[in-house]
Amino acid sequence: MRELLAGRFRRLGPAYAIAIVAWLILSRWPGHALVYALQKGAGAPWLRRAVLGLPEYTDTTGSFSHWDDKAAAVAIALAFHLLLVVWLGARRDSRRLADDGSSRAVAVFSFFFLIYTAASGAIQDYVLYLVCWQEVARGNDPWYFTTGVFGTYPLNAYGPLFNVFAFPALLNPLLPKLCFAIAYLGFVGRLFSTPGPSKTRSRGELAAWFLLVANPYFWVEIAHFGHFDVIVGILCVAAVTARARDRDLSSGTYLALGALLKYVPLLLVPFVALVPPRHRWRIAFAAAGITAAGLAISVLIWGPSTFRPIVFAAQRPSHHLSIFRFLNGRYSPLSGLVLHENPANWAPAFLILALGIALAWSERQRLATLPAGALAMVITALLYQAGFTQYHMVGLLLLTWWLATDPPPSWKRSLLVAALVPYLAWLGTFDVLCTTLPIDDYGMQEWTGLLTFFLGVVLIAAISISAPRAPAGHAGVPDPDADPPPR
């Protein structure tokens, strides 16, 4: 494998090096002239937004700095694309796969995805990420309180491992965003370069390709907004796959790393460790021990403010796609009742109850680990009171991995796809609307939670019906690195 990587790098490296140097030269001399002209009012509004950022810089120095960051990020994106192309080709050669065009398709898609990730710059939550990382770099408390639309809350609502991204951000503000993008593209490339001989799998791959690549959800969430939930989702997929190989320590480590980024994977631990055919207590102990150690180290560095995101997660208000936002809104069926309590206050209890029922049912039905984990994460996204679109990322990655690597046969596969497509299509549509319309002005939050909940319940039912039952001694998850016959 190492020789294949080196050989491909020697062949492709010079061409990419020339492209990177040429781009940096052009971005410096004609590029600065373009920035100066746009800053003086020339050009269309969309071009000024793309080059100068939002809000537009009012001084030329700031405009140049913003442009230089983007230009360097594009160069980094080209370097990342080289690494991805080399890895895809070497992986295909080392596993003796026929060139069916999937690697080339992933390479082309990845080029545009990475360039857009760099060119779109810092938007929405990513701007707040940069503020948090700046505080980390200065040695300050990264979980300090701020006042905004959600009231008084910690600006950094994530785990201590999130602070590690402050180091690449020092090199370039958009480097962490590109890391999220290349992780997603690596997931796509790994998924579609895993061999499998069955027609059932081929159809599942086709459906997964449409869901992962053709849907705008991943473009908006990762390339546009730069949300890092994709890293959490990939770690959860890795944890389930590690269990399939009887690597309990690795599985628990992946879950712990995900939890130290964003605490959601803690809810997945029982579904990975306790579902049939036998309980894997080592996974649970490893996940709990490494998470506790990570939190302890964080407390030593930053103090008890480490735990502010946990308190905030249980108390934060409901917005956007949350069913609790609908139940507290204009069209709520509860509006005629005299309630002295916001329904969202009961959201954590409802979530734990629903997950407990799902775990008991999964054990009784001997659900395979992968669909059981996907079921847990879809339930979590639906019943967590905040209701932001990126929270659905973990469940979607688990579902697409299942669909592409070991899909259910015949009509069960069709049922799963029929439920998953409208669910993901709605999330993608809502994301696009968020980038183009002031959704608060249109009153969309009054009803979007109901539609999301309905589509999610349909998906939960489809997962429950389609999920394979694990036979004795088998985790119900395929090993993606097994050696089937070449295609």
Query: Would you place residue 358 in the very low, low, confident or very high pLDDT band (cuts 50, 70, 90)?
Result: very high
pLDDT, residue 51, reads 77
Give the span between the Cα atoms of 19 and 77, in whole angstroms.
Answer: 11
pLDDT, residue 148, reads 67
Percent of the chain past pLDDT 90, that is, above it, reads: 53
Query: How large is the average pLDDT for residues 460-482?
Result: 70
More confident residue, 34 or 233: 233
DSSP 367: B
pLDDT, residue 307, reads 92
Mean pLDDT of the chain: 86
State the DSSP H helix or E strand holding residue 95, giving kind and residue range, or none if neither.
none
pLDDT, residue 371, reads 92
CA distances from 117 to 22, 27, 177, 299, 438 (A): 20, 17, 7, 34, 23
Residue partners of 230: CB distance under 8 A and separation at least 6:
180, 183, 184, 187, 218, 221, 222, 393, 397
CA distances from 397 to 391, 424, 483 (A): 11, 11, 23
Pick from 87-91, 251-255, 321-325 the range whose average pLDDT is largest: 251-255
Q: Provide the sign of the torsion angle of the four alpha carbons 167, 170, 175, 180, taken in this order.
A: positive
Pick from 44-48, 150-154, 245-249, 392-396 the range whose average pLDDT is largest: 392-396
Query: How large is the average pLDDT for residues 358-371?
Result: 91
Query: How large is the average pLDDT for residues 232-242?
Result: 96
Q: Encoding tokens for residue 371?
A: 């669909």
Of 69-73, 148-152, 354-358, least confident by mean pLDDT is: 148-152
Query: Would you place residue 6 in the very low, low, confident or very high pLDDT band (cuts 50, 70, 90)?
Result: confident
Residue partners of 275: CB distance under 8 A and separation at least 6:
359, 362, 363, 366, 367, 368, 369, 372, 470
Query: How large is the average pLDDT for residues 160-180?
Result: 96
> Is there a contact between 476 and 370 (Cβ–Cβ < 8 Å)?
yes
Q: Encoding tokens for residue 401?
A: 């991995």
pLDDT, residue 124, reads 85
Residue partners of 389: CB distance under 8 A and separation at least 6:
217, 221, 320, 321, 427, 430, 431, 434
pLDDT in tens, 117-157: 999 989 888 999 999 999 999 999 999 888 766 667 888 88
Query: Would you place residue 437 in the very low, low, confident or very high pLDDT band (cuts 50, 70, 90)?
Result: confident
Query: Would you place residue 423 in the very low, low, confident or very high pLDDT band (cuts 50, 70, 90)?
Result: very high
> Is there a contact between 450 and 468 (Cβ–Cβ < 8 Å)?
no
More confident residue, 312 or 442: 312
pLDDT score of 204 more than 70: no
Query: Would you place residue 474 in the very low, low, confident or very high pLDDT band (cuts 50, 70, 90)?
Result: very low
pLDDT, residue 448, reads 92
Give the span between the Cα atoms of 70 and 28, in whole angstroms.
Answer: 11
Give the span between the Cα atoms of 354 and 462, in whole angstroms.
Answer: 17
Query: How large is the average pLDDT for residues 429-447?
Result: 82
Q: Encoding tokens for residue 243?
A: 């269990």
Residue 181 neighbours by CB distance under 10 Å: 25
Give the span between the Cα atoms of 259 and 262, in whole angstroms.
Answer: 5
